Amino acid sequence: MERITMSIDEALAKEFDALIAARGYASRSEAMRDLLRRELESHRAMSAGEDYCVANLSYVYNHHQRDLTERLTEAQHAHHDLVVAATHVHLDHDNCLESVILKGRTETVRAFAQRIGAERGVRHGHLNVISVATDDRHHGFTARPHAGHLHFRPRS
């Protein structure tokens, strides 16, 4: 592990200490590593060079909106190659929250999320994208190439 030393303003240090205490970090180092990872991932996600990702799309919608539930389900079925899992939560008598786990080509995942977000009656949509490296090998004692699927490994 490489050591980095920083100097920051005392007021900023106090605010940072309060933040890391509120979030339950054991140390400033752990908090800084998470902040750096988040910033690097954000930069990667904005770059056109990242081909594959895993992602979580979450959104709230009014299930009384005409045919919306059916359109959302049809969209997931039409992209069954992207959709890994979906969780549906009833928030009240009118609104539902869905969280959809996706994996695939980043541009396809983003296009799917934009399509869902554009549906009339869908609100509060948010896509969290994590870029991944891919390979088609098993690692460890069964290290061998195989066909049929890719392994997705988060970048560190």
Domain boundaries, the chain: 10-46, 52-135
Low-confidence ranges of the chain (pLDDT < 50): none
- Pull the structure tokens for residue 96: 């539902």
Place of tokens 């050591």: 3
pTM of the model: 0.69
Q: Mark residue 35 as left, alpha or beta (left: phi above 0; alpha: psi -120 to 50; beta: remaining).
A: alpha
- In sequence order, the 6+-apart residues with CB closer than 8 A to the CB of 129 are 45, 53, 55, 106, 109, 110
Question: Which superfamily does 52-135 belong to?
Answer: ACT-like. Chain A, domain 2 (3.30.70.1150)
Beta bridge partners of 86: 100
* pLDDT number for residue 35: 84
What is the structure's pLDDT at 144? Answer: 61
